[in-house]
Amino acid sequence: MFKRLANHQNPFASFRCSSVGFRYGRVNPNTKRNFSLFQNVADTFLTLHEVLHIPWIVLVPLSTITLRTVVTLPFSIWQRKRILKQQELRKLVHPITPIVKLRLAAITNKKSKIVTEINSNGSLLPLPLQNPGVLTPEQITLLAVKETRKRQKRLFKKYNVPLWKNALLPIVQIPLWVTISMGIRTLTEAQLIESFYPSWISLLSFGSFDLSTPLMAMPLLAPILVGTLAVLNVEFNGRLMFSSSLSSQGIKTVSRNSNRVQEAMASILNVSRLGCVVMLAMSSQAPFLLSLYWISSQLYSLVQNIILNWIYPYQR
């Protein structure tokens, strides 16, 4: 167990290495303020490290896997099953649009035949379409789409798969990711040196790990891993969204020939790709312990998406 010896004259309190094998210095609370939530996360990591005697380079990935498995994985499985059910229900309401179009067009055609007058020569002249029952092709298409959406909404509600539930996963996952990231960032505000690590790491000639700074021995390792895993996640999800094989199975997805929806999805993918570049740049300056959490989280997301797509595939 640790015995902390604080030096009140130095804003950074230095602590000697014990049997756990690390030295931890904390910023003087009188000189810096932290959110209590982030500080609690940092204290939790510190307590786990002290009690379990687990190296930081093992504790952070292990904590990531545990949190993602306990908190976000059930939401991911629930969302995947819900989306599959929504796709099946969309196949039921998809034929409604052309049927409604045909009915509206027939009604419009019937009424438009009456809106005529006879001129002096005895021929029929069409009057301006002032009858509210006569619809233009654009109005027919709009009404058909509205009717399809209305029936789809009722069908989703009946089977308890409304669209708003698709936002539950990011609502849970994003705050969790931000909270853990900021908690680790708070933990590494002071020097955090790990010397208790497996013997095989010592063969890499890293010396003692200073986890509060980027990895000086291999400065490009963390940025390359973070950027590569982030890009793989984005491109894997983008390939699913733009997959043409799903449409051939009767499942409606974003087609390459669509306009508005395709542009929206392409914009989201471009923003996600830009986020990968931002994460790559941030990881080059972030503490190695924080980059290790990002690597673990990205790797878990990639493996999770591959396994879920194998167990619950969209191509059914």
pLDDT digits (tens, 9 = 90+) for 233-249: 999 888 877 664 444 34
Evaluated on CA atoms 302, 303, 306, 311, the torsion sign reads negative
- Poorest-pLDDT segment among 113-122, 214-223, 281-290: 113-122
Q: Which of 158, 191, 5 is nearest to 85 (CA)?
A: 158
pTM of the model: 0.73
Task: Specify the higher pLDDT residue, 300 or 9.
Answer: 300
Residues 6+ apart with CB under 8 A from 40: 183
Give CA–CA dist 76/307, Å, rounded.
Answer: 11
pLDDT digits (tens, 9 = 90+) for 67-92: 999 999 999 999 999 988 988 888 88
pLDDT digits (tens, 9 = 90+) for 118-164: 445 545 445 454 455 567 878 888 888 888 889 989 999 999 999 89
Q: Residue 38: is its pLDDT beyond 80?
A: yes
Give CA–CA dist 100/151, Å, rounded.
Answer: 12
Q: Residue 14: is its pLDDT beyond 60?
A: no
pLDDT of residue 42: 92
Q: Which two tokens stand for residue 33?
A: 């303020």
Q: Per-residue DSSP letters for 245-278?
A: HHHHTT-----TT-SHHHHHHHHHHHHHHHHHHH
Average pLDDT over residues 180-186: 93
Q: Which two tokens stand for residue 222?
A: 């963390």
Task: Specify the higher pLDDT residue, 274 or 215.
Answer: 274
Q: Is 54 helix (H, G, I), strand (E, B) or coil?
A: coil
Name the strand (E) or helix (H) holding 38: helix 36-52
pLDDT of residue 292: 93
Give CA–CA dist 23/55, Å, rounded.
Answer: 12
Residues 6+ apart with CB under 8 A from 67: 176, 180
